[in-house]
Structure 1
């Protein structure tokens, strides 16, 4: 089952991240066949690493927590926060290189009226916008409902947020969805 794992960097750790980069990549190589999406979030100018995103297919929540907590950057104390949430992947396309992308995300309390699987997919439209590279509904641990959204959009943050807002509000059963948007880059070894 897929899990969305987001780790936010501690402030001023760029040099340390570089020191641990090979250990991080070697660790991720062990999961290469299970990684659906991977890559860093970066500052608006693209110069600074701000976090890491992984969507990984693992057996259960315990395996996802282990994946996150055994990651070398986390073990070295370079992350300040971790998010690990079950995800239902609704759309996944291969990202291009050298194209600006934005990671858009939101989380909200579980709604008893959350859309079902078919309705979630329908919120994307029959012909999903070609700028959408990845979209997943974040799920509660029991599969009872939607608790958020994560998307990668081929656009800069403001445009990406505007594109995902109606979809997020549909998932949130019409409630306002406060979206975050930050630059994202395709990750992994070149």
Structure 2
């Protein structure tokens, strides 16, 4: 099952991240065949590393938590926050290097009435904009429905939000949501 794993950097850790970069990549090499999406989030100007995103196919939540907590940056205390959520991949296209991307995340609270899965809502048959390269529904572990969406978009943040909002609106089923956007880069060895 795919899991969305996001770790937010502690402040002022750029030098430490650089020093552990090879160890991080070597760790990720061990999951290469299971990584669906990977890469850092960066500042608006693209200059500073702000976090790490991985969508990884693992057997269960325990394995996903272990993947996140054994990662070298986390073990060194370079991250301040960690999110691990089951995901249903709805769209996956090849991402290009050296192209500006934005990671858009929409989250909402589940109500007593479950929203159902993405396929039931007709999202898999939708014709997405070609700038959407990855979209996944974030799924509650209790299987009561979706709790959010994460997308990688070949656009800058303001435009990217607009491209993801229709997907998020349909999945949220009218629930109020928080929609954030931050620059993202395709990861892996360079």
TM-score by length of 1: 0.95
1:61 aligns with 2:51: no
Q: Could you give the per-residue CA deviations for residues 63-95 of structure 1, whole angstroms, max 9, x where no partner exists?
A: 000000000000000000000000000001110
Encode CA deviations 1:103-145: one digit per residue, 9 max, x unaligned: 000222124241433234x336532210100000000012220
Query: 1:167 aligned to 2:167?
Result: yes
Matched, 1:131 2:142: no
Hey, what's the Cα distance between the residues in 2 that align with 1:126 and 1:146?
Answer: 18
SS in 2 for 1:159: helix
Q: Which sits farther off after the overlay, 166-175 or 83-92? A: 166-175
Decide which moves more: 172-181 or 79-88. Answer: 172-181
Structure 2: gaps spanning 5 or more residues: none
Q: Which moved more, 1:168-177 or 1:95-104?
A: 168-177
Paired with 1:107 and 1:117, the residues of 2 have a C-alpha distance of: 15
Q: Which runs of 5+ in 1 are unaligned?
A: none
The RMSD of aligned alpha carbons is 1.2
- Summarize the alignment of residues 18-97 of structure 1 with structure 2, pairs less than 5 Å apart: 18-97=18-97
Q: Say which SS state the counterpart of residue 26 (structure 1) adopts.
A: helix
- 8 Å CA contact 2:101, 2:155 repeated in 1: yes
- For residues 101 and 14 of structure 1, the distance between their equivalents in structure 2, rounded to whole angstroms, comes to 21
Taking a change above 3 Å as real, the CA distance of residues 3 and 95 of structure 1, as seen in their structure-2 partners, is same
Q: Which moved more, 1:130-139 or 1:103-112?
A: 103-112
Q: Is the 8 A contact 1:138 1:148 kept in 2?
A: yes
| Matched positions, count | 189
Could you list the per-position Cα deviations for residues 19-55 of structure 1 after superposition, in whole angstroms to 9, with x for gaps in the alignment? 0101100000000000000000000100000000000
